[in-house]
Amino acid sequence: MFKILNDWKLLILLCLTLGLAPFYPEPHIWGKLKWIIGGAEGMGFMDWFDVVLHGFPYILLARFLVVKFLLKKVQTPIK
C-alpha cells in the first residue's frame, strides 16, 4: 500500500484530476481556497469536506516531496 503513496506519477494524476475537478468555470479547490481566504462566511460541513477531498492529493504530493528530498538529505551519512 505504501508503494502507491510513493508513486509520483499517480500523485500528479490525482492532483490534476481529483484535485482540480470540476474544471469549469474555475477549479473547485481554487474556488474553495478563495472562499476560505475571504473569511469562510457561510461555509458548511459539506464545503469543508470538499476542501479536504479536493486538497488531499496535494497533501499526499507534499508528503512525497518531503520524504523524497528533505528526509533523504537528513539521513545521508557525513563522510
If pLDDT is split at 50, 70 and 90, which confidence band does 58 have? very high
Would 67 be classed as within a structural domain? yes
Buried/exposed 3-18: b ≥16 CB within 10 Å, e otherwise:
eeeeeeeebeebbeeb
Would 56 be classed as within a structural domain? yes
How much is the pTM?
0.75
| DSSP 8-state symbol, 50 | H
Q: Does 1 or 34 have the greater pLDDT score?
A: 34
Cell of 76: 545521508
Give the Cβ contact number of residue 69 at 10 Å: 9
pLDDT tens for each residue of 5-31: 788 888 898 888 888 888 788 888 898
State the residue range of the domain holding 49. 44-79
pLDDT tens for each residue of 40-55: 899 999 999 989 999 9
Q: What total number of domains does the chain contain? A: 1
Q: Does 75 or 68 have the greater pLDDT score?
A: 68
Angle at 18 between CA 71 and CA 14, to 5 degrees: 40
Asked if pLDDT for residue 69 goes beyond 80, the answer is: yes
Would 29 be classed as within a structural domain? no
